[in-house]
């Protein structure tokens, strides 16, 4: 099991970034982090993450892109 799973949705047209990140969310296990890169703030994703009980941190990474780090709340420390 990889500790960090990368999904790069930068410069893809909607809905392809979401189509790529949703299966990765389904496969995310405790102890893993999903690193989602996208060229716009993925506001629709936030409610979905909240509804699934997943934690996320968002930060701009330049060129108008964002990094979203997604983890399970029960991730071992």
Tokens of 72: 């399970």
Number of domains composing the chain: 1
Which pLDDT tens digits describe the chain residue by residue (77 residues)? 789 999 999 999 999 999 999 999 999 999 899 999 999 999 999 999 999 999 999 999 999 999 999 998 875 55
Q: Is residue 22 part of a domain?
A: yes
Q: Which domain holds residue 43?
A: 4-71
| Residue 77 within a domain | no
* Domain containing residue 10: CATH number: 3.30.110.40
Residue 12 lies in a domain: yes
- C-alpha distances in Å from residue 25, one per residue of 7, 20, 31, 63: 10, 9, 13, 25
- Is residue 46 assigned to a domain? yes
pTM: 0.91
Report if residue 76 sits inside a domain.
Answer: no
Q: Confirm whether 20 is domain-assigned.
A: yes
Distance CA 45, CA 5 (A): 17
């Amino acid at each position: 099991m990889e500790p960090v799973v990368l999904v790069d949705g930068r410069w893809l047209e909607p809905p392809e970034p979401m189509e790529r990140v949703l299966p990765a969310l389904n496969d995310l296990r405790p102890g893993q982090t999903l690193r989602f890169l996208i060229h716009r703030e993925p506001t629709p994703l936030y409610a979905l993450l909240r509804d699934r009980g997943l934690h996320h941190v968002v930060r701009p990474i330049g060129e108008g892109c964002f990094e979203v780090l997604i983890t399970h709340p029960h991730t071992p420390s």
